[in-house]
Amino acid sequence: MITYLKGSFASITPSHVVIDVQGVGYEVNISLNTFSKIQDKKEGLLFTHLLIREDAHLLFGFADVKEREIFLMLLSVSGIGANTARLILSYLKPNEIAAAILNGDAKTLEQIKGIGKKTAERAVLELKDKVAKQTPDAEISAIAAPSTASTVKQDALEALIALGINRQQADLHISKSLKGNPALELEELIKTVLKSL
């Protein structure tokens, strides 16, 4: 099992990174969440999961252990494959997924393209105990009370999608805008993102 890879990033795209480890280039599938954390870096460490199928050996990489844990939990749900799990992690951050599961909020997962109502409900039902076991009490308290910033981000995302902007692109620009100014109000945030597109 390959637990992590440490090396220089030969190329980075929103869905893949080629990481050069002492002259060997590994192609690693990543989520937008990981991409946003490594896009400006020349080198680094990715926690990995190797998926062996009849027709391929696929490496999935994660910026932190928490994301890998959520990915593996999602894989354990019937109807969620590796690409769907990666898609979920591209739409939502690991703590947002944990919050949705702990709060029994299947609707948040349903909003993701390719996730049906039954799959979302099954994920919440099957993973609630697993997520609770792996989440410290202090984190559960924080998760149970979502912050205003995450509400503003969600509202801005929905508004931009309604305006016809690609969800992943909107999410990336919202994160960048909030990183620069975390106190942005909803209207200001939407305007900032529209200017940056």
Query: Residue 111 and residue 88: Cα distance in Å, rounded?
Result: 10
Tokens of 189: 């945030």
Residue 80 banded pLDDT, cuts 50, 70, 90? very high
- The domain 148-196 is placed in CATH, from the list 1.20.1260, 1.20.120, 1.10.8, 1.10.287, at 1.10.8
Output the pLDDT for position 138: 47
pLDDT tens string 30-67: 999 999 999 999 999 999 999 998 998 999 999 999 99
**Within a 10 A sphere around the Cβ of 121, how many other Cβ atoms?**
15
pLDDT at 162 over 60: yes
pLDDT at 136: 62
Letter string b/e over residues 135-172, b meaning 16 or more CB atoms within 10 A of that residue's CB: beeeeeeebeebeeeeebbbebbebbeeeebebeebbb
1.10.10.10, 2.40.50.140, 2.100.10.30, 3.30.70.1230: which CATH number matches 4-62? 2.40.50.140
pLDDT score at 187: 83
Domain 66-144 has CATH 3.20.20.80: no
Token pair in block for residue 18: 């080629």
Q: Are 22 and 5 in contact (CB under 8 A)?
A: no
Rounded to two decimals, the pTM is 0.70
Per cent of the chain over pLDDT 70 is 92
